[in-house]
Amino acid sequence: MSDTINILLLGSGGREHALAVKLAESPRCGELFIAPGNGGTLEVGENVALDENDPEAVADFARETGCGLVVIGPEAPLVVGVADAVRAAGIPCFGPGAAGARMEGSKQFSKELMDRAGIPTAAYGAFTDEESAAAYVREQGAPVVVKADGLAAGKGVVVAATVDEALEAVHECFAGAFGEAGSTVVVEECLTGPECSLLAFTDGKTVRPMDTSQDHKRALEGDRGPNTGGMGVYSPVPIVTADELAQMQQVMVDTVAELAAEGIDYRGCLYGGFMLTPQGPKVLEFNARFGDPETQVILPRLKNDLVEVMLACANQTLDQVGLSWRDEWAVSVVLTSAGYPGSYEKGKVITGIDDAAAMEDVTVYHAGTAVNEAGEVVTAGGRVLDVTALGATFEAARNRAYEACEKIDFEGKTLRHDIGLRALKGRSAWEA
């Protein structure tokens, strides 16, 4: 079992840098290719120019380079069936096929599956015309949540405080603000409570839930401003009770069982986004992949060999694998380019990464970075770096992450200073 295998990892974010680091740590990792990768992944493997959303091109590359495992980071390649093409080529793949990726690719699909499986989630209606959606909004009243059915890069959800705001959101979806993704609209009951994410490895039969994590989606401190891809994250979530954790774990098991019962062979990571309501945890959404930035705090805490775990998912031997976790807490703060999630400048030289990374238990994951012709690391995206620290306590991890952030500089460097602050204060911080 000690043979090395070549691995192809798809994606270019902080999540993929964290995946690449963890894969490369494994004695089983031979050559590691990342397509397209970023300024961080090229330090742990070889970045390759390959269209990650072209199923045949990915399968051909994996075959030609003798890969024994393909790992799919983002949702877009999953939804277009890259995993199906890789498996058809006889290569083990971590990531569901197009059928399983509908858990993320269609909110209506995942809501209907949850209904069939009896999974607790917000009451909802799904509509393909504006008039019916608007009538349902008026009937439900505010607050109410409006969601574009398809992939909208995290921007397709409006938590509307008034009926007018909800009607406007419905109108925008049908007017084409999210293209095809908005041709079906889901209108949902507005839930309240702290949020918590639970990711799970699965081979379609066995489910191995990971530890909890929580990101911060809003751009501004105090959870204000527009939604982003994530501004910071921590793991585990201190405010979750043992009872809530058990219920969330059961949801993950029941969901995979339902997928299997419906003939969907789901092998990869299933991401459950929960709200801890007064009636217990309810599902807000499923994603068909690892979270970004959740991965950046989960993987540093995972003691297992990631190549072994992913191969077990791909080859349906996960029943033989148990997960174990480091006791330390992890906190990750995202450094962004000024203006994100709106427009921002690129190409700013970044200094201090090595100083930050030299700190004990600190890892700096690259998200939107590139290396320029002079060999300098420069900004190349909205989310630039994920500064992650481990600590014996939540507070120690948090303080260390912020200390590391101070060592890094680039023009326009922006961050939230309140990552994890509410969780540190305890559950009462949500009862305002």
Element containing residue 273 per DSSP (H, E): strand 268-277
Provide, rounded to whole angstroms, the least separation between the CB of residue 340 and ligand GLY.
15
Q: Residue 180 is which amino acid?
A: E
Q: Is 150 in the site for ligand GLY (CB under 6 A)?
A: no
Residue 368 interacts, among ligand GLY, ligand AMP, none and using kind-specific CB cut-offs from 5 to 8 Å, with: none
Provide, rounded to whole angstroms, the least separation between the CB of residue 135 and ligand GLY.
31
- Select from 291, 341, 368, 420 the one that contacts ligand GLY (CB under 6 A): 291
Q: Is 142 in the site for ligand AMP (CB under 6 A)?
A: no
Neighbours of 223 (CB within 10 A): 13
Q: Is 273 in the site for ligand AMP (CB under 6 A)?
A: yes
Neighbours of 338 (CB within 10 A): 14
Task: Name which of residues 191 to 210 contact ligand AMP (CB under 6 A).
Answer: 191, 195
* Closer of 121 and 363 to ligand AMP (Cβ): 121
* Closer of 99 and 169 to ligand AMP (Cβ): 169
Q: Is 287 in the site for ligand GLY (CB under 6 A)?
A: yes
Question: Helix, strand, coil: what percent of the chain each, to 5?
Answer: 35, 30, 35
Residue 215 interacts, among ligand GLY, ligand AMP, none and using kind-specific CB cut-offs from 5 to 8 Å, with: ligand GLY
Task: Name which of residues 45 to 64 contact ligand AMP (CB under 6 A).
Answer: none
Contact 103, 121 (CB under 8 A): no
Q: Which residues contact 270 (CB under 8 A, 6 or more apart)?
A: 103, 199, 200, 202, 207, 252, 255, 256, 286, 287, 288
* Closer of 68 and 273 to ligand AMP (Cβ): 273
- C-alpha 304/C-alpha 310 separation (Å) is 10
Which of these ranges, 47-55, 187-195, 246-254, 256-264, lies near ligand AMP under the rule CB under 6 A? 187-195
Provide, rounded to whole angstroms, the least separation between the CB of residue 116 and ligand AMP.
19
Asked if omega into 278 is within 30° of 0 (cis), the reply is: no
- Select from 52, 149, 294, 386 the one that contacts ligand GLY (CB under 6 A): 294
Contact 127, 144 (CB under 8 A): no
Which of these ranges, 89-97, 130-138, 167-175, 186-194, lies near ligand AMP under the rule CB under 6 A? 186-194
- Select from 203, 211, 215, 244 the one that contacts ligand GLY (CB under 6 A): 215
Provide, rounded to whole angstroms, the least separation between the CB of residue 330 and ligand AMP.
20
Q: What angle do CA 346, 20, 71 make, to 5 degrees?
A: 105
- C-alpha 1/C-alpha 305 separation (Å) is 13
Locus of tokens 């349906």: 316
CA-based nearest residue to 20, from 1, 47, 2, 58: 47
- The tokens describing 71, both together, are 């790992």
Which of these ranges, 121-129, 288-296, 336-344, 358-366, lies near ligand GLY under the rule CB under 6 A? 288-296
Provide, rounded to whole angstroms, the least separation between the CB of residue 229 and ligand AMP.
11
Instruction: Classify each residue of 23-62 as buried b or exposed e, where b means 16 or more C-beta atoms within 10 Å of its C-beta.
Output: bbebebbbebbbbebbbbbbebbebeebebbebeebbebb
* Closer of 274 and 365 to ligand AMP (Cβ): 274
Alpha helices in 175-305 (DSSP H): 242-261, 295-298
Q: Is 16 in the site for ligand GLY (CB under 6 A)?
A: no
Residue 291 interacts, among ligand GLY, ligand AMP, none and using kind-specific CB cut-offs from 5 to 8 Å, with: ligand GLY
Q: What residue ranges bind ligand GLY (CB under 6 A)? A: 215, 230, 287, 291-292, 294
